[in-house]
Amino acid sequence: MLILVTGGTGYIGSHTCVELLNSGYDVVILDNLVNSERSVVDRIAQITGRRPLFYHADATDASAVDVIFSAHPIEGVIHFAGLKAVGESVEKPLTYYRNNLLSTMVVLEKCIKYGVRRFVFSSSATVYGENEVPFVETMELRPRANPYGETKAMCEKILSDAAARHPEMSVALLRYFNPVGAHESGLIGEKPRGVPNNLMPYITQVAQGILPELRVFGADYPTPDGTGIRDYIHVMDLASGHLAALEKMGPGVHIFNLGTGRGTSVLELITTFEQVNKVQIPYRIVGRRPGDVAACWADVGKAQRELGWRATRGIEEMCRDSWRFQQLSG
Ligand code: NAD
Ligand code: WQD
């Protein structure tokens, strides 16, 4: 069975390609390399012993996407391709709306044209916004007030409306919580360009001495230690969630949280990272980052019941694997 993975050289996409290839699927990657490197294809081949096909193409380019669909007997699509930096989306809203909405519509149109019935979409816990934790799939969406979050909510709507018109299609809207960690080989992982926005890559760069200290954004939240709480999920668990969705979902639209169901504070993550990896993370508490919520974690019951999937790796493994990747790549 051949799966098209858009954004397949990116962070989550590359780990999902490893899971797909190791489970016997054939893989075609489409990526414009705006936030990843071609060498990731070699790394995937090194890990799995199988080489995915790679197209350097833009998912918003309808004719380039058509060429791929006409050349290969694709049976399912996992659509990771997208821009994901919240702050940048405020600076460049049209770039984000254009890239994230148009790529989703183009790939979906080709699925409909070529009779590809399985479509898995990378959504985000950001669509829950200020709801009460834990976040449940049935909650009304309140995407955080930034263009990135809006694109995820809008893509969910576009996919749902199209699926209603094409009842033969199976669409999974996977709402990721906070992906961290790396493949245990240390060959692939998250490699942000420039100064990281997210907590774990920032911690690993501080650990390596690339950055002098971590700024903890707020210690006055209504949480036990005052710092923000998030549901960190190991990227390999996230990857296996995609396979479960591909294999188990029937026709219709299916929304699943992919998280662990457990929350960890910023200070807890720092302490665990220091203990597991025997390194120091100098940090300083500063003011809150605008747009952050106090707490965000998943209700994971639906994914467990309907997909038979659950995250198995804990915070220690996430810290260990993130650090191994940083040491090997940085
Ligand atoms: P990433 O930036 O590492 O991967 C995205 C990949 O898509 C990159 O390789 C990039 O080059 C490619 N890409 C972007 N626009 C493209 C286009 N128009 N055509 C072809 N390729 C394009 O990001 P990631 O962390 O792997 O995220 C994957 C998906 O998951 C994204 O849609 C993101 O919004 C979503 N997501 C990520 C997180 C997270 O915290 N990492 C959380 C929730 C949802
Ligand atoms: C985690 C915690 C920060 C950096 C973002 C997106 C979300 C999703 C995942 C794509 C928070 C604190 C962080 C730092 C800190 N992405 N922090 N110092 O904000 O939960 O989610 O990535 O869909 O949409 O918004 O993740 O890793 O940035 O922050 O104290 O230098 O770490 O305040 O409590 P976030 P994050």
Over residues 216-257, the pLDDT tens digits come to 999 999 999 999 999 999 999 999 999 999 999 999 999 999
| Residue 2 pLDDT exceeds 90 | yes
Judge if the upstream peptide bond of residue 201 is cis by omega within 30 degrees of 0: no
Average pLDDT estimate for 182-193: 97
Average pLDDT estimate for 145-164: 96
What phi, psi does 299 have (nearest 5°)? -85, 120
Q: Evaluate whether 204 touches 232 at the Cβ level (below 8 Å).
A: no
Q: Which domains does the chain have, with CATH numbers?
A: 2-181+233-259 (3.40.50.720)
Pocket test for ligand 2, best of 11, 80, 230, 258 (most atoms within 8 A of CB): 230
Amino acid identity, residue 157? K
Confidence of residue 96 (pLDDT cuts 50, 70, 90): very high
Euclidean distance between CA atoms 158 and 130, whole angstroms: 23
What per-residue confidence (pLDDT) applies to 145?
A: 79
Confidence of residue 142 (pLDDT cuts 50, 70, 90): confident
CA of 198 to the centre of ligand 2 (A): 5
| Residue 144 pLDDT exceeds 80 | no
| 219: Cα within 13 Å, side-chain hemisphere | 9
Average pLDDT estimate for 132-153: 93
CA of 12 to the centre of ligand 1 (A): 7
Euclidean distance between CA atoms 38 and 16, whole angstroms: 16
What per-residue confidence (pLDDT) applies to 95?
A: 98
Percent of the chain with pLDDT over 70: 100
Average pLDDT estimate for 156-181: 98
Q: Measured from the CA of 9, which atom of ligand 1 is nearest?
A: 9
Please return the burial class of 176, using the count of CB atoms within 10 Å of its CB with bins 0-12, 13-18 and 19+: buried
| Residue 143 pLDDT exceeds 80 | no
The tokens for 321 are: 């694997």
What per-residue confidence (pLDDT) applies to 330?
A: 76
Confidence of residue 102 (pLDDT cuts 50, 70, 90): very high
148 is catalytic: yes
Q: Evaluate whether 118 touches 170 at the Cβ level (below 8 Å).
A: yes
pTM of the model: 0.99
Q: What is the pLDDT of residues 255-303, one digit of tens each?
A: 999 999 999 999 999 999 999 999 999 999 999 999 999 999 999 999 9
Euclidean distance between CA atoms 290 and 197, whole angstroms: 13
| Residue 85 pLDDT exceeds 80 | yes
- Residue of 148, 202, 221, 232 with catalytic role: 148
Nearest 5 degrees, angle CA 69-CA 100-CA 72?
10
197 lines ligand 2 (CB under 6 A): yes
| 30: Cα within 13 Å, side-chain hemisphere | 27
Mean pLDDT (the chain, rounded)? 97
216 lines ligand 2 (CB under 6 A): yes
61: which residues sit within 8 A by CB, 6+ positions away? 106
Q: How far is CA 133 from CA 9, 238, 263, 298, 325, in A?
A: 32, 20, 10, 7, 31
What per-residue confidence (pLDDT) applies to 194?
A: 93
Q: What is the pLDDT of residues 42-62, one digit of tens each?
A: 999 999 999 999 999 999 999
